[in-house]
Amino acid sequence: MRALLRLDLLALLVAFPLLGGPPAPPAPNPAPPGSPVKLVFVHHSTGENWLTDGNGDLGIALRDASYFVSDTNYGWGPDDVDTGWGTIGDHTDFGNWYSWFSGPNRDTYTAQLFAESEQHSWYSRLDTDPGGENQVVMFKSCFPNSNLTGSPSDPIPPIESNPLRGQDAYSEHMTVANAKGIYRELLNFFGARTDKLFVVVTAPPLGSFDTDAARAANARAFASWLVNDWLDSYPFRNVAVLDFYNVLTSDGGATRTDDPETNDLGWADGNHHRIRSGAIEHTRTVANDFSAYAAGGDSHPTPAGSLKATGELVPLVNAAYNCWKGTGGCPRPGPSFYTVAPCRALDTRESAGPALSPDVPRTVVLAGTCGLPGGTVAVSANLTVLGASGWLAAYPGKGAWSGTSNVNTSGGKVRANNAVLTLAADGSGSVTLLAGTDAPLHVVLDVNGYWR
């Protein structure tokens, strides 16, 4: 039998320092998927350049990260019934996303999008289609969408009265507030399709010759809102944001904005969205809201800018995939706590029996019991033990025991203790129980709240 480890108040404070939240969430996991994953990328010319071998090399990088990549481009897909002209693939501006994912014809558009397996640009990809629908949907608008008017502080209109619905980037209604309203509406569809991972790529910045300082500042404010605020109240893990805008606003020149042919990939300073030292880093040390990679009067990013984006953002795609699958931490605010009426989730004296055998871990699934919803990462519980002398430890399902016990008992007496139980990182909603006792131990687990 393992040595008895007593849990006093000090140890409890060390294990759960806030007594109001679970331990720190796991770090983001930039490792590629373990097997091929189908991804479709919705784009136009900037995205095409980004994908292309010898330009941005995004296709190669995604291929090497085990994604089977398909894409849409101009002329792709069903007729755009909402605008009345062209195909839905012709229209990828902010206002058009309402048609793609929320309008009356969204089911027609998304059914073909999810089923797409062809290439509409030139890039390398995996040789073999793994079959099935696309699991990952990545989409971006092009740089004309960074010519935003209005103010970041303007109120967001209800979707029913948002005049940007279905409109292109040249609409008089291209304001920060209206753009926010469109993207906020998209979450209704994304939340209903948690079987897909939606990766939003912010629109690239315009060159200084194509816009003015006020509009460029608005574009930055909108991109930052998508990264930092848009998902605050979204309860699921199937949406991620890549800040293409910020990445393209610093380069490797002397002033950090004067050499569009040299990037600052891997530099400590500059404007970045990346994983560095095991954490997601969204930084801006260069005060610039215009494209640092626009050359010759053209706001399309140069290959140097596209390569920087590939180097920084593909690991974030992996991290988003692992977050979605529960195999890594999420780049989101910490989970919120919700109370529930005290509820018995486990009683080994009854249907959850038999009693725990000494030194034999038992993993139990708490998700789905006591009204615990999907996405629960930890529970507030009361653990009661009886029938043996020793201790009980509870730790994340499929995880490793930390060497700390939650309840100690002797002489077969009934003993109880409050605990914050972190659930398995793989999304299974499970916890493992381990009895370090001299005989089989009965356990009762009552839930009174959860973090999600």
**Residue 451 pLDDT:** 76
Q: How much is the pLDDT for 421?
A: 87
Residue 15 domain-assigned (yes or no): no
pLDDT of the residue at 384: 96
The pLDDT of residue 208 is: 98
The more confidently predicted of residues 172 and 413 is: 172
Q: Please list, in sequence order, all residues whose beta carbon lies within 8 angstroms of the beta carbon of residue 25, skipping any fewer than 6 positions away.
A: 329, 330, 334, 335, 377
Report the CATH number that the domain containing residue 163 is assigned in CATH: 3.40.50
Q: pLDDT by residue (tens digit) across 374-395?
A: 878 789 999 999 999 999 999 8
Q: Of 291, 325, 359, which closes a domain?
A: 325
CATH of the domain at 383: 2.60.120
Quote the pLDDT of residue 1.
Answer: 41
Instruction: Using pLDDT thresholds of 50, 70 and 90, give the confidence band for residue 276.
Output: very high
138 within a domain of the structure (yes/no):
yes
In-domain check, residue 249: yes
In a domain, 93, yes or no: yes
225 or 192, greater pLDDT: 225
What does each C-alpha distance from 322 to 197, 202, 319, 392 come to in angstroms? Answer: 10, 21, 5, 31
76 with 217, same domain? Answer: yes
Q: Which 8-state DSSP code applies to residue 377?
A: -
Structural element, H or E, at residue 347: strand 337-347
* 122 and 174 part of one domain: yes
pLDDT tens sequence across 308-326: 999 999 999 999 999 999 9
- Mean pLDDT comparison of 16-30, 137-151, 330-344, 418-432, highest-scoring range: 137-151
Q: How confident is the model at residue 9 (pLDDT cuts 50, 70, 90)?
A: very low
Residues 157 and 220 in one domain: yes
Over the chain, what is the mean pLDDT? Answer: 90
Q: What is the mean pLDDT of residues 266-291?
A: 95
Task: Check whether residue 365 and residue 292 sit in a common domain.
Answer: no
Q: What is the DSSP string of 56-120?
A: T-HHHHHHHTTEEEEEE-TT-SSB-TTTTSSBGGG--STTHHHHHHTSTTHHHHHHHHHH----S
Query: Residues 28-86: pLDDT tens digits?
Result: 999 999 999 999 999 999 999 999 999 999 999 999 999 999 999 999 999 999 999 99
Confidence at residue 448, expressed as pLDDT on a 0 to 100 scale: 93
Q: Is 241 in the same domain as 348?
A: no
Residues 91 and 73 sit within 8 Å (Cβ to Cβ):
no
Percent of the chain residues past pLDDT 70, beyond the cut: 91
Instruction: Give the integer Cα–Cα distance in Å for 194 and 177.
Output: 26
Q: What is the pTM of this model?
A: 0.71
Whether 21 maps to a domain, the answer reads: no
- pLDDT confidence of residue 236: 83
319 & 344 share domain: no
My answer on whether 132 and 277 are in the same domain is yes
**Do 244 and 274 fall within a single domain?**
yes
Same domain, 348 and 273: no
* The pLDDT of residue 4: 35
Q: Does 5 fall in a domain?
A: no
Q: How many CB atoms lie within 10 A of CB 122?
A: 12
**pLDDT tens digits for 238-259?**
999 999 999 999 999 999 999 9
Please check whether residue 28 lies inside any domain of the structure: no
Banded pLDDT at 111 (limits 50, 70, 90) = very high
Mean pLDDT of 116-145: 98
Same domain, 207 and 61: yes
Question: What domain range is 61 assigned to?
Answer: 37-325
Among the residue ranges 192-206, 265-279, 322-336, the one predicted with the least confidence is 322-336
pLDDT value, residue 397: 79
Query: In this structure, is residue 181 part of a structural domain?
Result: yes
Query: For residue 344, what pLDDT is reported?
Result: 95
236 and 309: one domain? yes
Residue 23 clears pLDDT 60, i.e. is over it: no
Can you give the pLDDT at residue 183?
A: 96
Which segment, 154-163, 186-195, 210-219, 339-348, is predicted with the most confidence on average?
210-219
- Closest CA relative to residue 26, chosen from 420, 429, 426: 426
Task: Specify whether 246 is located in the same domain as 352.
Answer: no
Residue where a domain stops, chosen among 301, 325, 349: 325
Domain boundary among 293, 325, 357: 325
Per-residue pLDDT band at 13 (split at 50, 70, 90): very low
The rounded percent of the chain whose pLDDT value lies above 90 is 77
Count of domains for the chain: 2
